[in-house]
Structure 1
Amino acid sequence: MKKFLQKEINKYLSFVKKTKSINTYKTYETILNEAIEHIEIENSIIDITPYRLHIANLNKKTIAKKVSALRSFFEFLETEGHKFKIVGDEHVKVPKTLPKPVSMEHIKKALKSATMDEYLAIMVIFSLGLRISEAAGIKLNDIKGEWIEITGKGSKTRILPLHPKLKEFIEKYLQTNPKKEYLFEKNGTPLGSDKIRYLVQKAFKKHGIHVTPHQLRHSFATYMLQNGARINDVSELLGHEFISTTQIYTKLSDTLKLKNYLKAHPLCS
């Protein structure tokens, strides 16, 4: 059966070579030829558990990558008409990585030299903690005095406080840049997420750094927590369904944790 598996791997690699990049081909070739030395196959069962044990000491991202390559190969076997029960094919839970928050010094510099459109894009995302798609979807009638209504994931809406500086700038901006329906639009056509992302990146590029809208959203959450905002409030502002998402998304520094501990624990008073 190992000979059969090697034959099918060779067929699959030929398919990958024709349809994927050379780097993907080489990666799959290495993984599959490594895995076949450990995979156990009997009758209609392929057990990759021995291979999972062989790579268990690697980091989770690497394990997930290797298991994903195997899973693609097994899908190929199925399209070839082969029916196997796969054992040990459980998904690997990869820990989420966080972008570094942008320093306030860099944000202030970018705002100072930004065009009006660039300034608006940075301020809307950073002062409100928005996803790029949420910023692109803001309509003029969503702005209601001191508040703004945001439509987030799953068409769920949340009402956010409009920072006084942002409110003042929007009023000034619309006087010289009148819009028909959307806050971000040109010639009556809404700007997509890519164009707003470009505005943000262009503003920071002037100072030699690469910053994404997602980094600004993360910076919003990080600085809010560091300045004493309650995690429940930050979670609501970000539009997270579960507070656990906010806990993953916003790492508090050890210094702040110690400060809060010393402030809150009764023995420290």
Structure 2
Amino acid sequence: MRKWSPFKNHPNIYTYQTAKGKRFAVRRGFTNVLGKKDEFTKSGFKNWREAEIVLKKFESDLALNKFDNLASEKVTLQKTWEMMKDEKKRLGKWRPSTEESQINNYLIYIKNPLGNKSLSQIKRPVVQKWLDSLSTQNLAHDTIRSAYGTLSQIINYAVNTELIGSNRIRGLDYTGKDPKDKSIEPIDFNRWMKCAEAVLNNADYAMIVVMANTGMRRGEVTGLRTTAVTIKENELTREKFAMIDINFQRSVNNPNGAKLKTKSSYRKIAVTDETTNYLQEAIDIAEARRKKGHKSPNAIPWLWVKEDGDPVSVFHLRYLCQVVSNKCGIHMHPHMFRHYFATETIANGVPQIDVMHYLGHSSVQMTADYTRPTENASLNVSKGFTPTDTVPYGTINRVPSNVP
């Protein structure tokens, strides 16, 4: 490397010799937007005036915090993602479920194709090509939208931290498969539940019944503890019922439990005597298994445990649904129970706002989005329509049948 010598009376401007003669360069230290020591250099100027113009421009940008081009050339999308993720966790901006989905989106769909690119390379044509490649992978439209949303969050963070000047990837188009049909007819649902009762043990079937009869999310069901269930008796009818305090969930990234998805997810719900009986049976089984497995009295009193007293896997409900679906030939996965619960309760006349609070939704619109059209519901609508009475109109001349 050629030796640079300071140019007298011109701070941060240097000279060096080349085969074509004397040349000038700029070297200026500064603290970048990442809070680290950095250096701006530029060379190849034929005279000191050209070098000084570039230096003055840089110092003006430095004073105005305009480092978009410089930072975007050096900082990768991976580095920006790590910075954003750390900030979200530090400030508590992400709930566990949000963090899990964002991490999954980045690791599965974004990291390999885009992670090593500098921010300056994340341009519309590059991102459009990435979106097109996701579309060719037979992914659902909602999956691609979610991945695109995560990438947009990273770019917005880069803008807010002045790593780049603007979000250049807004409003891109993409396709994808239609979402899977989450509807099921009551006759098929009842047949599926009968099959589940026949092939599952008491504890596992109780788990399915509680999920089906409450519409709880999978993570909320697996996150239940015996202390979250309070069994009571109606003073007038003497019927048993239970109150369930839903304030915990388990997931792949948080197998030992974590906070719920949203503020509205925290709720207490009541269940009828049928579901109460299954809850009581599950409590008895859990306590017996913990005792048999010599678990500490201070251990988390999970409601759903294995034979040794340890909590069931976070995938256990999915596994049970797969076993029963394969046996009876009717496909059901855990989240379909939530859609079915919303559809049936509203179809049976329960006010949407009550269903909203019961399911832990943040709006009535979200609850409405969970309902699915079924043949049974369609017939109920048809039966609810009263046709016009067929009263004779008097003397009429009927339209001839041969009129075109």
TM-score bracket for this pair, using the shorter chain length: 0.5 to 0.7
1:168 aligns with 2:254: no
Distance 2:220 2:358 in 1: 12
- 2:277 aligned partner, one-letter code: E
1:185 aligns with 2:305: yes
Percent identity, please: 21
State which drifts further: 221-230 or 150-159.
150-159
Q: 1:170 to 1:219 in 2, by over 3 A?
A: same
Contact kept, 8 Å, 2:318 with 2:334, in 1: the verdict is yes
Contact kept, 8 Å, 1:47 with 1:86, in 2: the verdict is no
For residues 232-266 of structure 1, what are the alpha-carbon distances to aligned partners after superposition, in whole Å with 9 as ceiling and x for unaligned? 11111111011111111113457268359748xxx
Q: 1:86 to 1:47 in 2, by over 3 A?
A: farther
Contact kept, 8 Å, 2:286 with 2:305, in 1: the verdict is no
Q: How many residues align?
A: 212
Structure 1: gaps (5+ residues)? 1-18, 29-43
SS in 1 for 2:267: strand
Match of 2:246 among 150, 164, 169: 150
Aligned counterparts, 1:251-262, within 5 A? 251-253=372-374, 255=378, 258-259=381-382, 262=385
Higher helix proportion: 1
The alpha carbon displacement at 1:107 in A equals 2.1
Contact kept, 8 Å, 2:214 with 2:341, in 1: the verdict is yes
For residues 61-82 of structure 1, what are the alpha-carbon distances to aligned partners after superposition, in whole Å with 9 as ceiling and x for unaligned? 39x67x95xx79xx8xx9xxxx
Q: 1:127 to 1:194 in 2, by over 3 A?
A: same
SS in 2 for 1:161: strand
Aligned counterparts, 1:108-147, within 5 A? 108-145=194-231, 146-147=241-242
Distance 1:256 1:92 in 2: 38
SS in 2 for 1:178: helix
Partner of 1:209: 330
Partner of 1:37: none
* Larger RCO (alpha carbons 8 Å, 6+ apart): 1
SS in 2 for 1:160: strand
Aligned counterparts, 1:25-104, within 5 A? 61=141, 89-90=170-171, 99-101=182-184, 103-104=189-190
Q: 1:167 to 1:128 in 2, by over 3 A?
A: same
The alpha carbon displacement at 1:158 in A equals 1.1
Q: 1:236 to 1:97 in 2, by over 3 A?
A: farther
Structure index of larger Rg: 2
Contact kept, 8 Å, 1:240 with 1:246, in 2: the verdict is yes
Q: 1:206 to 1:261 in 2, by over 3 A?
A: closer
Name the TM-score, length of structure 1 as normaliser. 0.60
Distance 2:348 2:108 in 1: 48
Partner of 1:14: none
Q: 1:142 to 1:61 in 2, by over 3 A?
A: closer
Contact kept, 8 Å, 1:111 with 1:122, in 2: the verdict is no
Q: 1:184 to 1:47 in 2, by over 3 A?
A: closer
Contact kept, 8 Å, 1:121 with 1:200, in 2: the verdict is no
Distance 1:170 1:200 in 2: 19
Q: 1:20 to 1:96 in 2, by over 3 A?
A: closer
1:159 aligns with 2:239: no
- 2:197 aligned partner, one-letter code: L
For residues 68-101 of structure 1, what are the alpha-carbon distances to aligned partners after superposition, in whole Å with 9 as ceiling and x for unaligned? 5xx79xx8xx9xxxx8967573266988665123
Match of 1:227 among 345, 348, 351: 348
Contact kept, 8 Å, 2:211 with 2:218, in 1: the verdict is yes
Contact kept, 8 Å, 1:129 with 1:221, in 2: the verdict is yes
State which drifts further: 197-206 or 233-242.
197-206
For residues 145-201 of structure 1, what are the alpha-carbon distances to aligned partners after superposition, in whole Å with 9 as ceiling and x for unaligned? 123111242364211112311211232344455255111123332223212321232
Distance 1:210 1:172 in 2: 27
Which segments of structure 1 move beyond 6 Å, counting only runs of 4 or more? Answer: 83-86, 93-96
Contact kept, 8 Å, 1:120 with 1:170, in 2: the verdict is yes
Q: 1:87 to 1:200 in 2, by over 3 A?
A: closer
- 1:89 aligned partner, one-letter code: R
Distance 1:140 1:257 in 2: 39
Partner of 1:11: none
Structure 2: gaps (5+ residues)? 1-106, 115-120, 159-163, 232-240, 248-259, 291-300, 390-404
Contact kept, 8 Å, 1:121 with 1:199, in 2: the verdict is no
